[in-house]
Structure 1
Amino acid sequence: MNPTENSQSLFNLPASPQAQREERGLESAQFPIAEGNQVAATASTSGEVSGGGTLSSPQSAERASSPPAAMGGESSGEASGNQAGEVAEPEYPSQGVLNEKIVDLVRFLLIKFRRMELATKSEMMTRAMRDYEEYYAVIFSKASECMRLIFGIEMMEVDPFVHSYFLYPALGITYDGMLHGVVGVPKTGLVIIVLCIIFIEDNCVSEEVFWDVLNSLGLYAGMDHFIFGEPRSLITEDFVQEGYVEYRQVPNSCPPRYEFLWGPRAYAETTKMKVLEFYASIVKQDPRSYPEKYAEALREQQERA
């Protein structure tokens, strides 16, 4: 499967308040984490990045990239003789092989982000795309999309002559979370997902609905996730301590119930409009396609001006 397949349906944002009430907001959302087991790379304590999963086994990749056997019992000599004078068409690499190269590039970019180093085109081609340099454009495009959707890391070209790129957390967020959960893996993507859930659910989401959404993405309280670690402590402790999330008891609830809101650092570093635009860019829609949320984000933007 393509690592960014179905990227246009990563979120199922309700198109209307009625749909939002009926669908319970983002309970059936499809966030990038659901694709994480195919493109993610996890960091080891040694400082390097080891693969958290591959899209196809080396054996299947070898099979996909090897030439087909001669048909009809012809020997290779007979086959080549029969095809004398014909010009062989260039063979496009299989999707499995390209996916492996995308994963390799994601791993390389995660190392660059951790080391706070620029990533250059020549280095990416040498380190992650050897023998597949001609497919640089598609591999780079998919890898950068994975970095953004899963890890919340943007890439900005800082030198168009050598094509060097600076990697930084998206949406103005200054937290990368690499010291929390699985050490060395950026958690900005999870922060963005949490902020999106809260924003779409009218800026305050019950703990039950919140975990229903995360459960659908393969994140379960009390269970380690191979990219992020144990999500409950990460969100209710680390994200709260960092100021991105407020986790509070519902007033007068008995037995006690809890809810999630944006924290003060989230309001200080990003905006509802940025979160909505991030979502809209994923599903390739105009933010105005969601008029109520757009109007709310616009009001906040005008109030800050």
Structure 2
Amino acid sequence: MEPTENGQNFNLCDILTQAQVEERGPRDDQGPIAEAGEVEAIAAISGDESAGGAPSSPQRAQTASTPPTDMGSTAEASSGNPLEGMPDTEFISEGGLNEKIIDLVRFLLVKFRRMELTNKEEMMQKVLRDYEEHYSVIFSKAAECMKLIFGIDMLEVDPFIHSYFLYPALGITYDGLLHGVIGVPKTGLVIIVLCIIFIENNCVSEEVFWYAMNNLGMYAGVDHYIFGDPRSLITEDFVEEGYVEYRQVPNSQPPRFEFLWGPRAYAETTKMKILEFYANMVRQDPTSYPERYAEALREEQERA
């Protein structure tokens, strides 16, 4: 993953620690969406190493039973920073604009939890007052953050008043609000897991899988403040929900395990959608992965 052009990252930590959740309502009794610890984790995802993001060490790389392919090499090049090379996530202009982007992300997360529509006028009045001239930039960056970190997409349901409905991306119906850290969408983590499995030829060993996850700042058995314990989420909750299959490699002694897509993943999304998401995340064209692209294309044709 290439660094951003100006060498800076979109730093969420310093801003989110100052921000408060937009209007706690009756559906917010599970607690605020992102308290200080969760903020640190978001910052780690966006490349702020002071908040806990750490690149994978050579020792960790050596623990993989087989060298990672596309996902592993990409993660290695990014020094453990999955958002570092994504378009339009670098620090922009003044700190004030950054603050408003994060305020809008928090506002949109509340709207998602409440399953409420929002529109441009409401966003302007409640979040972006006095920033009207910067609305397009702030909105586009907040929408990108919602999709790439939380796996939440925005559908414009009325182009006249610019009203939006928020929903899980790529056809996924699971939001994960009740798993891990309560109230935080986990769709983005589901998508990342499916990306890793697909890029690693549809079946990835536990060693290679956690090598890739470590490069994303998530470690088995170590609480992540956005997602909680990723091992528990992935091997228990995602398995129970049908998105992941976690099985022992036949005849392996000592026992070794591997990850595959679960039946719900095949039912709800497609390999092409997952490949396009991954390619966007690492600033590549889907055709940069010819074998995976051909496979995804065959699936599209079979589904037609």
- TM-score of the aligned structures, taking structure 1 as reference length: 0.72
Q: 1:118 and 1:47 mapped to 2: Cα distance?
A: 21
1:49 matched to 2:33: yes
Deviation at 1:248, TM superposition (A): 0.2
1:160 matched to 2:186: no
Deviation at 1:283, TM superposition (A): 4.0
Q: Please identify the structure whose Cα radius of gyration is greater.
A: 1
SS of equivalent residue, structure 2 residue 235 = helix
Specify the alignment match of 1:203 in structure 2: 202
Specify the alignment match of 1:144 in structure 2: 143
Specify the alignment match of 2:100 in structure 1: 101
Contact 1:42 1:184 in 2 (8 A): no
Q: 1:279 and 1:39 mapped to 2: Cα distance?
A: 27
Specify the alignment match of 2:255 in structure 1: 256
Specify the alignment match of 2:268 in structure 1: 269
Deviation at 1:42, TM superposition (A): 10
Once structures 1 and 2 are overlaid, which stretch shifts more, 233-242 or 211-220? 211-220
Deviation at 1:221, TM superposition (A): 1.1
Deviation at 1:6, TM superposition (A): 5.2
Contact 1:39 1:106 in 2 (8 A): no
Contact 2:120 2:161 in 1 (8 A): yes
Q: 2:281 and 2:98 mapped to 1: Cα distance?
A: 20
Measured against aligned partners, the alpha-carbon deviations of 1:85-114 in whole angstroms (never above 9, x if no partner) come to xxxxxxxx9532111111100000000000
SS of equivalent residue, structure 1 residue 144 = helix
Specify the alignment match of 1:26 in structure 2: none
Give the 5 Å matches for 1:73-222: 94-222=93-221
Give the 5 Å matches for 1:274-289: 274-289=273-288
> Which residue identity is paired with 1:268?
A
Q: 2:13 and 2:217 mapped to 1: Cα distance?
A: 10
SS of equivalent residue, structure 2 residue 219 = coil
Measured against aligned partners, the alpha-carbon deviations of 1:5-57 in whole angstroms (never above 9, x if no partner) come to 9589xxxxxxxxxxxxxxxxxxxxxxx9x97757879987445434543899x
Contact 2:181 2:226 in 1 (8 A): yes
Deviation at 1:130, TM superposition (A): 2.0
Q: 1:262 and 1:35 mapped to 2: Cα distance?
A: 33
> Which residue identity is paired with 2:248?
Q
Q: Tell me how many residue pairs correspond in the alignment.
A: 241
> Which residue identity is paired with 1:53?
V
Contact 1:45 1:183 in 2 (8 A): no
SS of equivalent residue, structure 2 residue 213 = helix
> Which residue identity is paired with 2:39?
G
CA RMSD of aligned residues (A): 2.8
Q: 2:12 and 2:261 mapped to 1: Cα distance?
A: 25
| 5+ residue gaps, structure 2 | 22-27, 44-91
Deviation at 1:282, TM superposition (A): 3.3
Contact 1:157 1:166 in 2 (8 A): yes
Cα distance change on mapping 1:168 and 1:95 into 2, 3 Å: same
> Which residue identity is paired with 1:294?
Y
> Which residue identity is paired with 2:33?
V
Deviation at 1:124, TM superposition (A): 0.9
Q: 1:97 and 1:180 mapped to 2: Cα distance?
A: 33
Specify the alignment match of 1:21 in structure 2: none
Q: 2:250 and 2:192 mapped to 1: Cα distance?
A: 26
Cα distance change on mapping 1:46 and 1:155 into 2, 3 Å: same
Contact 2:150 2:188 in 1 (8 A): yes
Cα distance change on mapping 1:222 and 1:213 into 2, 3 Å: same
SS of equivalent residue, structure 2 residue 222 = coil
Specify the alignment match of 1:83 in structure 2: none
Contact 2:30 2:182 in 1 (8 A): no
Deviation at 1:300, TM superposition (A): 1.4
Measured against aligned partners, the alpha-carbon deviations of 1:180-215 in whole angstroms (never above 9, x if no partner) come to 000110000000000000000010000011111111
Q: 2:240 and 2:251 mapped to 1: Cα distance?
A: 24
Deviation at 1:119, TM superposition (A): 1.4
Deviation at 1:148, TM superposition (A): 0.4
Cα distance change on mapping 1:218 and 1:283 into 2, 3 Å: closer
